Amino acid sequence: MQKVIIIGAGFAGLRAAKTLAGKKVDVLLIDQQNYHCFQPLLYQVATAGLEPEQIAYPVRGIMHNWPGVRFLMARVEQIDRASKHVLTTMGSFDYNYLIVAAGGQTNYFGNREIEQHSFGLKNLNDAEQLRNHLLSMFERAAYERDPQVREALHTFVVVGGGPTGVELAGAIRELVKHVLVRDFPQLENSQVQVILLEATDKVLGMLPTRLQQKTLQRLEKMGVQVRLNTAVEGASADQVYLKGGEVIASHTLIWAAGVRGVELAQSLELALARGNRVRVQPDLSLADDPSVFIVGDLAYLEQAGKPLPQVAPVAIQQAVTAAKNILQQLQHQPTQAFAYRDRGSMATIGRNAAVAHIFGLQFWGFPAWVVWLFIHLMSLVGFRNRLVVLINWAYNYFFYDQAIRLITANRKQADFDVAPALDIMQTNN
Amino acid sequence: MQKVIIIGAGFAGLRAAKTLAGKKVDVLLIDQQNYHCFQPLLYQVATAGLEPEQIAYPVRGIMHNWPGVRFLMARVEQIDRASKHVLTTMGSFDYNYLIVAAGGQTNYFGNREIEQHSFGLKNLNDAEQLRNHLLSMFERAAYERDPQVREALHTFVVVGGGPTGVELAGAIRELVKHVLVRDFPQLENSQVQVILLEATDKVLGMLPTRLQQKTLQRLEKMGVQVRLNTAVEGASADQVYLKGGEVIASHTLIWAAGVRGVELAQSLELALARGNRVRVQPDLSLADDPSVFIVGDLAYLEQAGKPLPQVAPVAIQQAVTAAKNILQQLQHQPTQAFAYRDRGSMATIGRNAAVAHIFGLQFWGFPAWVVWLFIHLMSLVGFRNRLVVLINWAYNYFFYDQAIRLITANRKQADFDVAPALDIMQTNN
């Protein structure tokens, strides 16, 4: 039986495995985590709205009924295309066909200083570390006597005007307004600054101009300071340096400014496109190797003269095409070119507010928010997850309470420099 | 206004704060976590039955309606009784009265080797690390070719025949039998060994003999190997050394063999009782200092010639007595001696089975299990937590599925030695 290895159990890897299940191929799905993480809701984990475990689902549980698919939890260290082997931390495995769906990582554009002093939001660990940091800032500020330091502790800088940045900035504002002002009797909503920085001249660039305007209005109304055409050049533990020389005193820099392909891309030994992405043929295979397919955030393909965006719908649709193209090759049939069907996009901005552009229709405000809730709830894997997420959302909505505002032991290493007084978790291990 | 400092937001600290709320004293509650953890259910977090966040509740949320009570998240580094100050990582605070409810930690009886190579179960961090380790053993064993190594990976040693050890051993067996055998098609329930070691000649020593017998029968039926009169002398990454020379090949040693008072006890500068506990007067104050009270796991007090057990009901009742005795002192009234009202105790052994000794009545099997479920559910703080725990329990019960079998980044440091092939999380930070 022909062996197919799929690297990555994100949206793309899972869909590829599902498409190949029961198709008389031997599929090995490899991921370094034993769970699939629903990335679009990471920002809610980071702002104490959901528990990390609620947006994750064990891969082995998902594939119970997928015949011919096995799972391996390991990190892939190298892809040896010459001998058709994948080298992992759990040993070496050979393949006839390979689908690389290893995804992306936070793009710091090579700036180590920013990488060290900022929080990304690409996985559960990031989200939990960010939650712990955000909440710690308020605990620390509550007993800080120096008003300048207190102001810096209460200033949160989010970089990147895409959906992640917009949703996160809105969620932090609401966490403060509805929950933290009750937790901290001395705290007033107006003492907290949430600043959203965007290097271009617009937020949510993928949406029509009217929805961008609605988003800006809403963010402003919520008290998020949006600064367009503003780029970040550097950071320290308590300062953010803007291009042009301005300095913002803040202990929290959240970096949602872009995605680049994972380092594994290097081991394919190809010239890579911008953002560490791998150029693929229209059928998603490599130009010099029709047995290797690249899908999702790691793939670089242009359509109508523009690169396809690094979003879940592209990844899922590409996974289906790549899997089908392998089956076509096995039957000595020609492969199909990938064609992205863009059904639209959306972002939530806070309680009762979202913007959505679906099937050519534009929504905003409450109707868009309801659509957003429904689509995200239904996209979660697992009945239990849907139910507990629904309950949390309902609870947070009706009680204005986010019960998961817990500071657990999982802290970013550099965070101990930022908050030396709160380094209490280290002794806990 | 008189200042009362309470150290610790466990069962005792919270109850003391609640008792003093609105009583015209200025209360400062200090804990190194910002949440209260419901310790009796830690074993379910460790076995993927509940999410860590479901048994924790933010302290500030609990005390919203407690007038006169403030919260400080900090680690207490020292108690200076001479100047009546508590020194914390967030500064120094003075008191008129002090209640020390700082609790206990895992008692390794000074054995560093065991401490390094075993898992405790005293806080959320412990529980999450143990869950991650347990699940990793199965992921690793699935691709292990050496049958001896595989057997060691599939062997789980639990030390301590108290409620924690019994509940944990039962829960591991059920996780394997109902969930993991479906996740790992090559795995058979009989390949997994769960060994419960107890140094004395009985399990659940606090219960009547008949219930101890019922417990042993049930554990045996579930496939837990119980070995009484068996003590552990040492451990390495993949071996457990028993007194007498026997060696068990196992990568997992879980230490539930006892509790000792936290190190903070030292700073009281008193001769301490066995297990690092602080001897108190019948009214729970110190013999040489009537303004300092010790309650809960840290306090050592005998009643009817026997030391009071380190359990939640004792802690809660002591907290009330200590708080009331402070109010008595403020009104120049005599303090009351503490009298423990033992309402009974219970332990669950697995699906549909528990043992309970309440108000002198003995229950076992299904009725005891229902009582156990009800009491634990009602004891959880917060409506949301009760609801989501109930849903998880119902889900696990009816679907034989534990959806939280996720291996997250939180690993015990020594665990990277145990499972070098799975050290994939380290790069994730």
> How many Å lie between the alpha carbon of B43 and the closest alpha carbon of chain A?
17
Instruction: Indicate yes or no: CB of A404 within 8 angstroms of CB of B91.
Output: no
> How many Å lie between the alpha carbon of A261 and the closest alpha carbon of chain B?
15
Instruction: Indicate yes or no: CB of B89 within 8 angstroms of CB of A428.
Output: no
Residue B314 has a pLDDT of 96
| Inter-chain CB pairs, A–B, below 8 Å | 169
CB B373 within 8 A of CB B352: no
The answer on B125 and B242 residing in a single domain is: yes
Interface of B with A in 164-183 (CB under 8 A): 182-183
Task: Name the residue with tokens 């997250």.
Answer: B408
The answer on A264 and A219 residing in a single domain is: no
Which chain B residues contact residue A5 at CB under 8 A?
A: none
Retrieve residue A391's tokens.
């309950």
Flag whether residue A429 sits within 8 Å of chain B, measured between CB atoms. yes
The answer on A372 and A235 residing in a single domain is: yes
> How many Å lie between the alpha carbon of B351 and the closest alpha carbon of chain A?
19
The answer on A277 and A249 residing in a single domain is: no
| Out of A136, A405, A412, closest to residue B58 by CB | A405
**Chain B: residue nearest A33 by CA?**
B407
Which chain A residues contact residue B61 at CB under 8 A?
A: 183, 401, 403, 405
**Chain B: residue nearest A387 by CA?**
B391
Within a domain: A41 = no
Which range of residues forms the domain containing residue B229?
A: 112-257+344-418
Task: Name the residue with tokens 């591991």.
Answer: B172
Long-range contacts: A227-230, Cβ < 8 Å, 24+? A227/A195, A227/A196, A227/A197, A227/A198, A228/A161, A228/A198, A228/A200, A228/A201, A228/A202, A228/A203, A229/A198, A229/A199, A229/A200, A229/A201, A230/A197, A230/A198, A230/A199
The answer on A264 and A251 residing in a single domain is: no
Residues of B with a catalytic annotation lie at: 167
User: Which residue has better confidence, B379 or B215?
Assistant: B215
pTM: 0.92
Which chain A residues contact residue B72 at CB under 8 A?
A: 142-143
Within a domain: B57 = no
What's the CA gap between A169 and A190, in Å, rounded?
Answer: 15
Interface of A with B in 353-392 (CB under 8 A): 382-385, 387-388, 391-392
Instruction: Indicate yes or no: CB of B125 within 8 angstroms of CB of A52.
Output: no
Within a domain: B61 = no
- B245, burial (CB in 10 Å: exposed 0-12, middle 13-18, buried 19+): exposed
| Out of A34, A75, A142, closest to residue B407 by CB | A34
Q: Give the mean model confidence (pLDDT) for residues B265-277.
A: 92
State yes or no: pLDDT of B402 exceeds 90.
Answer: no
Instruction: Indicate yes or no: CB of B421 within 8 angstroms of CB of A74.
Output: yes
The answer on B409 and B323 residing in a single domain is: no
Residue B420 has a pLDDT of 41
User: Which residue has better confidence, B76 or B420?
Assistant: B76
Quick: pLDDT tens for B346-368.
999 988 899 999 988 998 999 99
Interface of B with A in 112-131 (CB under 8 A): 123-125, 128-129
State yes or no: pLDDT of B213 exceeds 60.
Answer: yes
Within a domain: A42 = no
> How many Å lie between the alpha carbon of A427 and the closest alpha carbon of chain B?
10
CB A243 within 8 A of CB A212: no
Instruction: Indicate yes or no: CB of A91 within 8 angstroms of CB of B135.
Output: no
Within a domain: B45 = no
The answer on A277 and A253 residing in a single domain is: no
The answer on B374 and B230 residing in a single domain is: yes
> How many Å lie between the alpha carbon of A288 and the closest alpha carbon of chain B?
31
Interface test with B, best of A7, A26, A31, A34 (most B CBs within 10 A): A34
Domain boundary among A303, A330, A357: A330
Q: Domain total for chain B?
A: 2
Write out the E strands in B321-388: 344-350, 353-358, 361-364
Within a domain: A220 = yes
Within a domain: A411 = yes
The answer on B126 and B95 residing in a single domain is: no
The pLDDT confidence band at residue B388, using thresholds 50, 70 and 90, is confident
What's the CA gap between B223 and B188, in Å, rounded?
Answer: 13
State yes or no: pLDDT of A232 exceeds 50.
Answer: yes
> How many Å lie between the alpha carbon of A283 and the closest alpha carbon of chain B?
32
Euclidean distance between the first and the last CA atom of chain A, given in angstroms as a whole number: 47
> How many Å lie between the alpha carbon of A245 and the closest alpha carbon of chain B?
30
CB A421 within 8 A of CB B74: yes
Residue A414 has a pLDDT of 57
Which chain B residues contact residue A89 at CB under 8 A?
A: 421-424
Interface of B with A in 59-98 (CB under 8 A): 60-61, 64, 72-75, 89-91
DSSP secondary-structure letter at A343?
-
- B99, burial (CB in 10 Å: exposed 0-12, middle 13-18, buried 19+): buried
Instruction: Indicate yes or no: CB of A58 within 8 angstroms of CB of B423.
Output: no
Q: Give the mean model confidence (pLDDT) for residues B133-162.
A: 97
The pLDDT confidence band at residue A144, using thresholds 50, 70 and 90, is very high
Domain containing residue A351: CATH number: 3.50.50.100
Residue B414 has a pLDDT of 57
| Out of B90, B383, B385, closest to residue A421 by CB | B90
What's the CA gap between B338 and B69, in Å, rounded?
Answer: 24
- The ipTM is 0.90
Residue A413 has a pLDDT of 65
SS (H, E, C) B240-299: EEECCCCEEECCEEEECCCEEECHHHHHHCCCCEHHHEEECCCCCEECCEEEEEECHHHE
Q: Which helix (DSSP H) or strand (DSSP E) does residue B129 occupy?
A: helix B124-141
The answer on B198 and B93 residing in a single domain is: no
Domain containing residue B310: CATH number: 3.50.50.60
Which chain A residues contact residue B429 at CB under 8 A?
A: 125, 129, 412-413
CB B323 within 8 A of CB B19: yes
State yes or no: pLDDT of B47 exceeds 60.
Answer: yes
CB B54 within 8 A of CB B385: yes
Domain boundary among B283, B300, B330: B330
The answer on A207 and A80 residing in a single domain is: no
Give the CA distances from residue B419 to residues A429, B47, B137, in Å, rounded to whole numbers and listed in that order.
Answer: 18, 19, 8
Quick: pLDDT tens for A6-48.
999 999 999 999 999 999 999 999 999 999 999 999 999 999 9
Nearest to B72 by CA among B135, B121, B123, B27: B27
Within a domain: A191 = yes
**How many secondary structure helices (H) and strands (E) does chain A include?**
13, 27
Retrieve residue B42's tokens.
């830690």
User: Which residue has better confidence, A387 or B156?
Assistant: B156
DSSP letter for each residue of A135-183: HHHHHHHTT---HHHHHHHTEEEEE--SHHHHHHHHHHHHIIIIIIHHH
Interface test with B, best of A383, A384, A405 (most B CBs within 10 A): A384
**Chain A: residue nearest B182 by CA?**
A64
Domain boundary among B299, B330, B361: B330
Integer Rg of chain B from CA: 22
What's the CA gap between A324 and A333, in Å, rounded?
Answer: 11
**Chain B: residue nearest A130 by CA?**
B429
What's the CA gap between B411 and B238, in Å, rounded?
Answer: 17
The answer on B143 and B204 residing in a single domain is: yes
**How many secondary structure helices (H) and strands (E) does chain B include?**
13, 27
State yes or no: pLDDT of A301 exceeds 50.
Answer: yes
Nearest to A419 by CA among A56, A136, A2: A136
